[in-house]
Amino acid sequence: MLATIMPPKKRQRIEEAPPPAARCSLLDLPEELLIVIIRYAKHVTTQSALQRTCKALNRLLEDITINQLTLSTHHMFGSRLMAPHYSKDLQRFVDVLQKRRLRFLRRLNLVVNTPSFAIGRGQRARCYLKDAKSLRHFSIESTLSRQMHSRLPMSGPGLTKIMQLMPNLISLSLSDVPNIACGFFKAIRGMRGLRNLLFTRCSMSTHFAAEYGFLGELTGKHLPPEITRLKLDVLNIGRAISMAARADHLFLSSMTNLVELELGESAHELANEMWYSLRSIDLMSRSLTTFKSSSQLLCTLFEFAKEIMGPTPLEYTVKPLIQIDITGGG
């Protein structure tokens, strides 16, 4: 009897079990997305879920170092119509800068959009100040003063103390600060690394401007000598120029490292003091490479100086700037 030939049994294919799915949690999301989730969690169920991990989230967010920051007084102090004594705002400002996540902060923009850092009411608070040594770039924008079409001053001592917190600045910019005074200039005098000093739509009192020019401060002798870029858009600077011309203190003659100069319309007095201005420009031109201004009159003055001063031609470039109305008025 013939043996029944059975077909060979097929080997059963043993499929490998899929790897267990990786466990994902809320903390695995990018930090930026976590911040958005926390900020916009409005449903009760979502808030309840976040509560179970809030401590871990807070620890995570505290470990995120911030290198640049825009900070507004509205964010720090809330909405208010009146400000307390500047020392209380200053202490709160210092406390924010001392947070662990800001220990490597290099660039800070402070927007003053509420009444803040003013003389205010109440007793002066004792301040515990610590230098922001890592900070290299700092700017103050007093948008409240600009938006209300008025000059709402910050406290002079308060502004001075803010400057003293930042000894290692490379660039310093002030916009719409209406009370630049003696204390401020004394505070920045020791910033030996300062390269850029920018004033935009700022102001000084008529009395201080006259004194500043007459005492020779407009020569720049007490400004940090390393400054290479200077912008002077300061109301009443014309008064300082007039007094400096009387005392024959040549304009910015002590700033031997100045490379770029920008002047606002308020410096038109230079065009009236022709001989004084030409001698000043002759000294500045030894290092100056660029002159900028929104004033066509000042641009013409510097072009004229290039033509008549000699025997070697002046090599700086004159760049007229287009004026832009930021107030939105007609």
Q: Residue 166 to residues 104, 132, 284: CA-CA distances in angstroms?
A: 13, 5, 29
Position 61 confidence tier, pLDDT thresholds 50, 70, 90: low
Average pLDDT over residues 54-64: 65
> Does the pLDDT of residue 4 top 80, yes or no?
no
> Does the pLDDT of residue 330 top 50, yes or no?
no
Q: What percent of the chain has pLDDT over 70?
A: 75
User: What tens digit of pLDDT does each residue of 6-24 get?
Assistant: 556 555 555 555 565 555 5
Average pLDDT over residues 123-131: 75
- Would you tell me how many other CB atoms lie within 10 Å of the CB of residue 245? 22
User: What tens digit of pLDDT does each residue of 69-91 get?
Assistant: 899 998 888 888 788 888 889 99
Position 26 confidence tier, pLDDT thresholds 50, 70, 90: low
User: What tens digit of pLDDT does each residue of 183-195 get?
Assistant: 999 999 988 899 9
Region for residue 255 given its phi and psi (left: phi exceeds 0; alpha: psi -120 to 50; beta: otherwise): beta
Helices (H), 169-289: 182-188, 206-214, 237-246, 269-272, 274-284
Residues in the chain, how many?
A: 330
**Coil vs helix vs strand at 114:** coil
pTM of this prediction? 0.79
Structure tokens given for 302: 């510097």
Structure tokens given for 22: 């990786």
Contact call for residues 245 and 276 (beta carbons, < 8 A): yes
Segments of 136-237 assigned E as strands:
137-141, 171-175, 196-203, 229-235
> Does the pLDDT of residue 66 top 70, yes or no?
yes
Is the pLDDT higher at 149 or at 318?
318
β-pair partners for 84: 121
Distance CA 76, CA 114 (A): 10
Contact call for residues 103 and 142 (beta carbons, < 8 A): no
Contact call for residues 240 and 218 (beta carbons, < 8 A): yes
Most confident of the ranges 52-61, 100-109, 237-246, 312-321: 237-246
> Does the pLDDT of residue 131 top 70, yes or no?
yes
